Amino acid sequence: MGKAKRDELTRDYLRELDRRLASLPRGRRRQIREEVEAHIEEGCRQLAPDDEAGTRQVLEQLGDPEEIAREAGAGLQRRTWPEALAPLLLLLGGFILYVGWFAGVAILWGSPVWRLRDKLLGTLIFPFGLAGVELLLVAGLARSSCTGYGPVGGRMITHCTGGLAEPLGLAILFILIVAPILVAIHLDRVRRRA
């Protein structure tokens, strides 16, 4: 107890503030957070370390973190539609002459909803989304060689070698298709939380 109580209340408050400010651009978020932290420190400086009521009063006067976030405009991005579209464009936009994917990338990098980490993820896995995967697979198939065995019973039998060994090939195929879908779902989830 004692000192721990004051620190605990402050920590909880700042954690809640961080959560509410998460959708803001980094610089803006950091400035607000630093100032609020300094405010609490200054407000509590005259208090005894175990003064729980005093700490609560400082935080209460500071106001609800939600109110601070609202003033900062955090969470407003949720209402805009380009961000809602971006994960879909990144996943499927490549099929629209690849243009849709570039639009998705532009939205992704222009929006404060996503952090750098998400932006890199969304861009790199995979370029052109599922269209990129398709391109890769077609290229892979072209490299494999097919030998015709001639007509057997009126049907053309062909045997293809090259490309990838089957179990490994299937695993890679699975990753190639599932990874961009998972990334798109992740981006959408981050957007909803913002």
Partner 1 sequence: MIPGADSNWEAQLRRGVVEYCVLAALRSRERYGFELARSLGAPGGLLMGEGTVYPLLARLRQRRWVETTWRESEDGPPRRYYRLTEQGTQALEAFERGWTQFRSAVDRALEEGG
What does the binding site for partner 1 look like in residue numbers (CB under 8 A)? 28, 31-32, 34-36, 38-39, 41-43, 45, 61-65, 67-69, 71-73
Nearer to partner 1, 2 or 73 (CB): 73
| Shortest distance (Å) from residue 97 CB to partner 1 | 38
Using alpha carbons only, what angle is made at residue 59 by residues 55 and 62, rounded to the nearest 5 degrees? Answer: 145
Closest contact distance (angstroms) between CB of 56 and partner 1 is: 14
Minimum distance, C-beta of residue 37 to partner 1, in the bound complex (Å) = 10
Shortest distance, position 22 Cβ to partner 1, whole Å: 14
Phi, psi of 121 (to 5 degrees): -60, -50
Please give the Cα distance from 146 to 133 (Å, whole number). Answer: 22
**C-alpha dihedral (119, 125, 126, 129), degrees to nearest 10:** -70
Strands (E) across the chain are located at 145-152, 155-161
Contacts of 173 (CB under 8 A, 6+ apart): 137
Instruction: Decide whether 55 or 133 has the Cβ nearer to partner 1.
Output: 55
Name which of 61 and 161 has its Cβ closer to partner 1. Answer: 61
Residue number with CB closer to partner 1 (9 or 85): 9
